[in-house]
Chains A and B, each alone.
Chain A
């Protein structure tokens, strides 16, 4: 229904430029950004890191720090100019009408104060509400954000509740004042997908109920598609495209937006939709932006004029505005990938190969030290964190196993145990027919060099004190795989296959971008030509356009060297294209394992089904089943008996007695013909009847009533 009422927008930014003063000059982190947000509207701002998203938010809040200031343009909040206004006046203008939610909830919570006190302070200080009344109001608000056991939470300290719950407290606190504008900067980035899904639902509800204008900042295209009505795409400090979510996702106009859409996994029905095409190059730093169009060095359509003249913002009748000289002329579906970003062809060699790694009921328990007097004296019962339980599978040579699951489910422990950084508690592991159950110090050099690892965090994967060349050369030297005088040549060869030139040899890690560091990390792992490479979320910390390039590269190298791989990821979309096999873990237990395609279609394990329906998909026309898990992941110290998922399983009802059996008995492995195994009491016939989680919305169903 189109609204006849025309209330003025809550926030209007016009041509805003923000600059930071730095040593010897200043950088314009944000240029020419214009947009407005209406009541009850969520305006997404999406872009890769360093594009100036947070800076926009800080400019509105006047939190730019000592060295930042709004250089040009105007920011109007509730019809009143904020730029150039300072101090008391500004406080009055913003009053309690703007609230902010950050990525890390602990940034907003005081760790040494009860949550109830922190929340009610908002009401007692500004509004003179009496304490009793304020507490009552807080509890109501907590219930509105679906906080279980709200009254009890009021008495706890922040560290006593989970991250997802902390974020809910922050949101509830922000809403207590009923702000006109709510700014959220990556509020769900630190949360697991299933928790994120709940928080996103919540945000959508609250917007409707309170008519709040929300500025939602994120790097995740899927999240924006789920929460926002309109979206602005930022690149290198500029807003390059803006429009409704439907328009932007269905028919992106700016080459950058088009590129972004092609490099995020879509998780659609067919595997082809998960092919990723990276954008070449990388985001320029703010002090080194090209003249003319900021995107010109990476653009497929670049022409002479793009290098000389900055494009103006072109507005289309649909309301979409685009900053490109050729907006409207570029047809996204005529695009074809150039050779350098083409993903490698997947050779689907189905002939079974011998397993290179065999796990036989592998267990890893960590001892936990209690803090009671009894524990200190050693009288208490020894307790364990059961991080990995009964991992049991074979990994055929030359294949890739994707391992997915939420944080803390034991993915990293599993590979650390395999590689020998942790001592196995029970069970047995065999690699190339050699026993590797014990720690790395007990292993021979021939095994060590065949088993290497790639790490998650680009900032800590490389030793800051050594050059790229030294670090990649080290394994060659240590394992003497290459004669000393040939190491340099070999390293350069490896660098080149990583698409990094010889000139990277002498660089130090701090001179590299995140993606480049990860490439070096991979090169280092491959330097000894290992047979098995274990990758622990190698792309999670990277921007999407870089992530795609790295995934394609890994795939190519794997095929070239015939390497076997285990690849950890926290969301199901990333591993899809990439893996031959996928394993889904929950609370230390592998719940489902099988050929990649089989995991994404029924029969599903109930947990995989929930996970799939939680993943935000960057495609507003995709229809996703709405399954939300209740409660939180139980502690791994005392995991639930029977099926570990029984405390949250939405599918137990299908079993007799509401799944009483799940609480007491370990489920059996249900196996399909194609080697797809599901760890569940529900029989396969029933699992087979589940609908696919993701389907395409039927066209044109916008009708009322």
Chain B
């Protein structure tokens, strides 16, 4: 699960000479929020986001309507994009969770991904959410159970053993420290093969574990 497998390849890109209004249009029409700005040969020069395109109202306060519209039509992406050391990028070979960490730390919603020094794709918070949904099995049918278990080695093996012994399959899932319950661990599993009652009946047999949610 590396960034290069989950990023969007061939993102829509623009040149630094593009008008801001044009960039705005492209974003609206294609329902996207980030546009890498590239020069010849797809070399990354900067990144433009919807926020960056907003002209601060204070700048406009003193101008009349005509001046504002002129100002707006003169603006080029070149002058408004994120660039230089503010521009944070990544390589395709890092893990998806490392990319998530970078985005959280920098409080940004998008990472251009460089391959051989040119833009190979971008990964955004939307991609991350989609990835989360996939991980949890949002796209497949099945029984979703949340099991609370002691935070000890061997506990999750008990669960998988039971599932395997019934010939069911795990189609997604994840785990997390149980909220406000130190020493416990919540595991979520998407199980296919049995119906709700069967799954609950089987998992209830496990000692020391508790089913806290089924749906």
Taking the complex as a whole, does A directly touch B, i.e. does some CB pair lie under 8 Å apart? yes
- Report which A residues bind B (CB closer than 8 A): 1-8, 10, 39-40, 78-80, 92, 95-97, 126-128, 137, 177-180, 210-213, 704-705
Q: Are B140 and A704 in contact (CB under 8 A)?
A: yes
A7 to B32, CA, bound (A): 8
A-chain residues with CB within 8 Å of residue B13 when the two chains form the complex: 78
A2 to B13, CA, bound (A): 26
Q: Does B202 contact A (CB under 8 A)?
A: no
A-chain residues with CB within 8 Å of residue B118 when the two chains form the complex: 127, 178
Q: Are A5 and B130 in contact (CB under 8 A)?
A: yes
Q: Are B10 and A10 in contact (CB under 8 A)?
A: yes
Given contacts A5-B130, A177-B42, 18 further A-B contacts (CB under 8 A): A5-B8, A78-B10, A78-B12, A79-B12, A79-B30, A80-B26, A95-B38, A95-B40, A96-B41, A97-B10, A97-B42, A178-B9, A178-B115, A180-B10, A211-B9, A213-B10, A704-B140, A705-B171
Q: Does B138 contact A (CB under 8 A)?
A: yes
Choose among B15, B38, B127 the residue that contacts A5 (Cβ–Cβ < 8 A). Answer: B127
A39-B8, A126-B40 known; A2 and B139 CB under 8 Å?
Answer: yes
A179 to B13, CA, bound (A): 12
10 inter-chain pairs at a CB distance below 8 angstroms, sorted by A residue, are A7-B8, A8-B32, A78-B10, A79-B32, A92-B15, A126-B41, A127-B41, A178-B120, A179-B10, A210-B9
A177 to B30, CA, bound (A): 24
**Residue on A with the closest CB to B43?**
A127
In the A-B complex, list the 8 residue pairs whose CB atoms are closest, starting with the nearest: A180-B10, A211-B9, A126-B41, A127-B41, A8-B30, A79-B30, A4-B130, A78-B12
A96 to B118, CA, bound (A): 12
Q: Are B139 and A705 in contact (CB under 8 A)?
A: no
A7 to B31, CA, bound (A): 9
- Report which B residues bind A (CB closer than 8 A): 8-10, 12-13, 15, 17, 26, 29-32, 38, 40-43, 115-118, 120, 126-127, 130, 133-134, 138-140, 169, 171
- Give the distance to chain B from A94, nearest Cβ to Cβ, in Å: 12
A-chain residues with CB within 8 Å of residue B127 when the two chains form the complex: 5
Choose among B10, B17, B139 the residue that contacts A211 (Cβ–Cβ < 8 A). Answer: B10
**Residue on A with the closest CB to B10?**
A180
A210 to B121, CA, bound (A): 11
**Residue on B with the closest CB to A6?**
B31
Q: Are B10 and A39 in contact (CB under 8 A)?
A: yes
Choose among B31, B40, B134 the residue that contacts A8 (Cβ–Cβ < 8 A). Answer: B31
A6 to B126, CA, bound (A): 10
- Give the distance to chain B from A76, nearest Cβ to Cβ, in Å: 8
- Mostly, the A contact residues are loop
A8 to B169, CA, bound (A): 34
Q: Are A4 and B138 in contact (CB under 8 A)?
A: yes
A705 to B167, CA, bound (A): 13
Choose among A1, A7, A95, A177 the residue that contacts B139 (Cβ–Cβ < 8 A). Answer: A1
A5-B127, A8-B32, A178-B120 known; A79 and B10 CB under 8 Å?
Answer: no
B-chain residues with CB within 8 Å of residue A213 when the two chains form the complex: 10
Which of A4, A8, A79, A211 counts the most B-chain CB atoms under 10 A from its CB? A79
- Mostly, the B contact residues are mixed
A-chain residues with CB within 8 Å of residue B130 when the two chains form the complex: 3-5
- Give the distance to chain A from B99, nearest Cβ to Cβ, in Å: 15
Q: Are A95 and B42 in contact (CB under 8 A)?
A: yes
Choose among B9, B32, B169 the residue that contacts A39 (Cβ–Cβ < 8 A). Answer: B9
Q: Are B12 and A8 in contact (CB under 8 A)?
A: yes
A10-B10, A39-B8 known; A4 and B134 CB under 8 Å?
Answer: yes
A-chain residues with CB within 8 Å of residue B115 when the two chains form the complex: 178
A180 to B121, CA, bound (A): 11
A-chain residues with CB within 8 Å of residue B17 when the two chains form the complex: 92
- Give the distance to chain B from A138, nearest Cβ to Cβ, in Å: 13
A-chain residues with CB within 8 Å of residue B134 when the two chains form the complex: 1, 4
A-chain residues with CB within 8 Å of residue B138 when the two chains form the complex: 4
A680 to B169, CA, bound (A): 48
B-chain residues with CB within 8 Å of residue A179 when the two chains form the complex: 10
- Give the distance to chain A from B156, nearest Cβ to Cβ, in Å: 20
A4-B130, A4-B134, A4-B139 known; A96 and B42 CB under 8 Å?
Answer: yes
**Residue on A with the closest CB to B115?**
A178
- Give the distance to chain A from B200, nearest Cβ to Cβ, in Å: 23
B-chain residues with CB within 8 Å of residue A39 when the two chains form the complex: 8-10
Which of B8, B133, B171 counts the most A-chain CB atoms under 10 A from its CB? B8
B-chain residues with CB within 8 Å of residue A177 when the two chains form the complex: 41-42
Q: Are B10 and A212 in contact (CB under 8 A)?
A: yes
A127 to B140, CA, bound (A): 43
A212 to B26, CA, bound (A): 21
A126 to B117, CA, bound (A): 13
Which of A1, A2, A5, A40 counts the most B-chain CB atoms under 10 A from its CB? A5
**Residue on A with the closest CB to B127?**
A5
A39 to B121, CA, bound (A): 12
B-chain residues with CB within 8 Å of residue A96 when the two chains form the complex: 41-42
- Give the distance to chain A from B130, nearest Cβ to Cβ, in Å: 4
**Residue on A with the closest CB to B38?**
A95
- Give the distance to chain A from B33, nearest Cβ to Cβ, in Å: 12
Choose among A79, A211, A705 the residue that contacts B169 (Cβ–Cβ < 8 A). Answer: A705
A95-B42, A704-B140, A705-B169 known; A5 and B10 CB under 8 Å?
Answer: no
**Residue on B with the closest CB to A8?**
B30
B-chain residues with CB within 8 Å of residue A10 when the two chains form the complex: 10
- Give the distance to chain B from A55, nearest Cβ to Cβ, in Å: 25
B-chain residues with CB within 8 Å of residue A212 when the two chains form the complex: 10
A550 to B120, CA, bound (A): 51
A-chain residues with CB within 8 Å of residue B30 when the two chains form the complex: 8, 79
**Residue on B with the closest CB to A179?**
B10
Q: Are A79 and B29 in contact (CB under 8 A)?
A: yes
A8 to B117, CA, bound (A): 24
A8 to B27, CA, bound (A): 10
A79 to B35, CA, bound (A): 11
**Residue on B with the closest CB to A137?**
B116
A180 to B42, CA, bound (A): 12
A8 to B8, CA, bound (A): 10
- Give the distance to chain A from B122, nearest Cβ to Cβ, in Å: 10
- Give the distance to chain B from A160, nearest Cβ to Cβ, in Å: 29
A6 to B32, CA, bound (A): 10
A-chain residues with CB within 8 Å of residue B140 when the two chains form the complex: 1, 704
Choose among A4, A40, A79 the residue that contacts B26 (Cβ–Cβ < 8 A). Answer: A79
A10 to B43, CA, bound (A): 20
- Give the distance to chain A from B176, nearest Cβ to Cβ, in Å: 21
- Give the distance to chain A from B48, nearest Cβ to Cβ, in Å: 13
A-chain residues with CB within 8 Å of residue B120 when the two chains form the complex: 178
**Residue on B with the closest CB to A705?**
B169
B-chain residues with CB within 8 Å of residue A79 when the two chains form the complex: 12, 26, 29-30, 32
A575 to B87, CA, bound (A): 63
**Residue on A with the closest CB to B124?**
A5
A2 to B10, CA, bound (A): 20
- Give the distance to chain B from A77, nearest Cβ to Cβ, in Å: 9
A137 to B42, CA, bound (A): 17
A210 to B31, CA, bound (A): 23
**Residue on B with the closest CB to A178?**
B120
A80 to B26, CA, bound (A): 7
A213 to B38, CA, bound (A): 20
Q: Are A128 and B139 in contact (CB under 8 A)?
A: no
B-chain residues with CB within 8 Å of residue A704 when the two chains form the complex: 140, 171
- Give the distance to chain A from B84, nearest Cβ to Cβ, in Å: 20
A6 to B15, CA, bound (A): 24
A210 to B115, CA, bound (A): 12
- Give the distance to chain A from B7, nearest Cβ to Cβ, in Å: 9
A-chain residues with CB within 8 Å of residue B139 when the two chains form the complex: 1-2, 4
- Give the distance to chain A from B163, nearest Cβ to Cβ, in Å: 13
- Give the distance to chain B from A122, nearest Cβ to Cβ, in Å: 10
A-chain residues with CB within 8 Å of residue B31 when the two chains form the complex: 6, 8
Q: Are B29 and A5 in contact (CB under 8 A)?
A: no
- Give the distance to chain B from A175, nearest Cβ to Cβ, in Å: 12
A46 to B205, CA, bound (A): 59
A7 to B17, CA, bound (A): 24
- Give the distance to chain A from B41, nearest Cβ to Cβ, in Å: 4
B-chain residues with CB within 8 Å of residue A80 when the two chains form the complex: 12, 26
